[in-house]
A and B are shown apart, each in its own frame.
Chain A
Amino acid sequence: MKFYLLPLAALAIPLFANPYTQFIVNLMLVYVLVAVGFNLVLGNLGQLAFANTALFGIGAYTAAMLMAHAGWPFWVVIVPAGFAGAAAGFLASVTALRGIRVYYLAIVTLAFGEVLRWSYIHGERLTGGTDGLAVPRADFFGIALDTETARFYVFLLIVTVLVKAVSNLLRSKIGRAIVAIRDNELATASLAIPTGRYIVLAFTLSGFVVGIAGSMFAVLIGRVLPESFGLIELILHFAMVLVGGFGSLFGSVLGAVALTGLPELFRRFPGMYEMFFGGLLIVFLLVQPRGLAALAARWWPALRERYYRER
């Protein structure tokens, strides 16, 4: 029950927000899913990965292409966007079955993500190339999503359902296996847990969540561009997970809410964005490597993650 307090309280936000702040809040909801999905791999599995922007991008492109070229409504395309993200997560990590781990796997995910981004740029007929692809007006079961408020309620519903699903997943056998692999893969394998398969599964599930976030992003921004899913975006994803707290669901929410609005502030100063987020990562790695969630848990022990061992 505790879990639903936050989304219930959030229901009141449109009463206070103007359209711009509402847009930022909607973007926060998108990034909550991004951070939750990325954290599955980075925090829970403990595997460095660079494919997250690619998973985000493939979700956004799948949604945009199905809406623009095939005329499917938004509430339908959420599902293929999630599956496209899952498929990309699977492909990015499938070499794990051949024993590729740690840095090698991270480099494969980096290469995979860049190949995908290359295909957005050169697949002009489907993706619009560097000009991007405009996303038609979205609707959710007949309700037009043409105001920020309407989008907010739909996004809040999707995010709540998915975060609850991930929360349940982490408490299941699968979630514990994933955390066990992070803590000691060899010991986990000795318990007859097929570690390679669980690594691929974690990437696939992460891709599903992040792919859905991508479809929401496409609808919110109204245009998908290849440059939205490059290395500049990646540092934001890393920062959200690290600042929030590795392996903490509540932390992912905190990180996304804290950082979503910041890139907008740096738009007019070239280089500020990279310096700020690079600096932020350095400060957190040195001073608070467990992120804001660990700070919060110190004051409010109920927030401590149950299956997360402090190291």
Chain B
Amino acid sequence: MSNAATTAPAPAAPPPVEKIRIKVDGRDVEVPKMLPNWQGKLEPTTMLQAIQIAGGEVPHYCYHPKLPVAGNCRMCLVEFGTPMIGPDRRPVLNEDGSPKIAKSVLPYEPSTPRGAIACATPISPGMELYPNSPATKQMREAVLESLLINHPLDCPICDQAGECKLQEYSVQHGQATSRFVEAKVHKPKAVDLGPRIVLDDERCVLCTRCIRFTKDIAGDDALGIVNRGSYNTIAAWKEGAFDNNYTLNTVDLCPVGALTSKDFRFKMRVWFLKETKSVCTSCGTGCNLTVGSREGAIHRYEPRENDAVNGPWMCDAGRLNYKWVGREDRLKDVLVRGTKSGWATALKEISAQLAAAPRGSVAVVASARQTTEELFLLKKLATKLGAVTDSVARPGEADKLLVCADCNPNTTGAILTGIVDCHAEMGRNLAKIADGIRSGSIRTLVVFGEDVTQHGLGADLLAKLDMLIVSDILPNATTAVATYLLPGCAHAEKRGTFVNVKGRVQKFMKAVEPKGEARAEWEILHELVHHVTGQNGFSTIEGLFNQMAQEVPAFSGLEWAKLGDSGVTVQI
């Protein structure tokens, strides 16, 4: 462990970037000659990248910066011109000395402009791009018209409504009327592609993003196209066979309402959803996500792009791991010896008893699913009480893409705050605690977020304690026998940070209100620490984090405000 926290790997002197001068809509722009492609490999800069650098936008369906380029939707066609070269192989100049530009035209019909697909066409020095010219606009209009002729136009009942690129581009680039008077092509509806995905082939624009993602990113050749021409249809190789742990990413990737999530479809119009930046708690990778919630209920998680962690993807298991937050049996009341009580009473009693507890008679089991700030406060408390601390390991199976073998979201936080000894295996102290309870040396046990009966501290042992202080979210065998039961919050109900397995400190925001009397654990811990140690703490998460950054060497130099939306990597 290093004492120095780094906000980012120290940037080495960047190699000089070769630039190209081009014009975008008449404005001079200098862009790098090479830029990263979907795999991060440097390739000649494309028209689309150049226009984006120039502050413009190129509408597209099939292009995605993290997928191989397909070039099939043709929505990004852009009119362009290149400097004219004379028979002497030298540039032809205008009277004012500027280079003469030859606009690209159809070779067989020189009066008609010819567009290039901006997603795949590299720029060259002196090139002129016209992303807003009448010809470019006409090409877009025509593509959009084509995409809509066989589309069912069922926006009112479409789950994608509100986040549909057909809708969006129709507003920006479409026409008010359609000339199409023939009968539409009909294709399969509500196709069961796999356990989590439903496909409406009539809405599909055949951009193949789903196919490319599934094959090239998820490594599963499950999807393809069957039939031909206008009858082309996306299909799984066998009905229902689209089943890997990343299928739901295709729902995000699908620019239209063709691929929908069985979990989310028809649950909520997306424009009612409040979006809150958060982090996935299902494993130590810490994929960034957006919580979609309305009036206190979470309706979906969607991945939030963070190239340092998850790119634009997340796994299906993590994405669907939100329902427990809204479970009916959530712990909602403060219970003292099984009887409903209040925070003031309970915290007062606990503080008094902990303050009076003989040194070494208390043990703390703190889950590596608690936030770093909570673990920091628990460690503070434990230090004051001379308490042995530990956490519970949650081993799982890693995959090649995002899922890591550590199913705790904050193992690193538990180690960095000292809840878990960095030289020992997580959970090794649990046996020591069991021995202590058995021998009577440990009289008080503080448990945050774990059912310790599952981890060697059975109900018989817990019965020997004078006092069992438990904070949790859902009921279990440990909460059932708690002397003091303190209802805690899901991550989506509070703010805080997790540190992922690679040392990325990532903050998450509060999406929904806690249930019943439940309170954020850091808040009650703040009070407990204050009462027991007599030290003043911070009553805001910002202050608490900044205090932690000053006291925990690994976090030195960090500030809550500087974490940003995508986090900061510290050395571990």
A and B co-occur in one complex: no
Q: Give the A-binding residues of B (Cβ under 8 A).
A: none
Q: Give the B-binding residues of A (Cβ under 8 A).
A: none
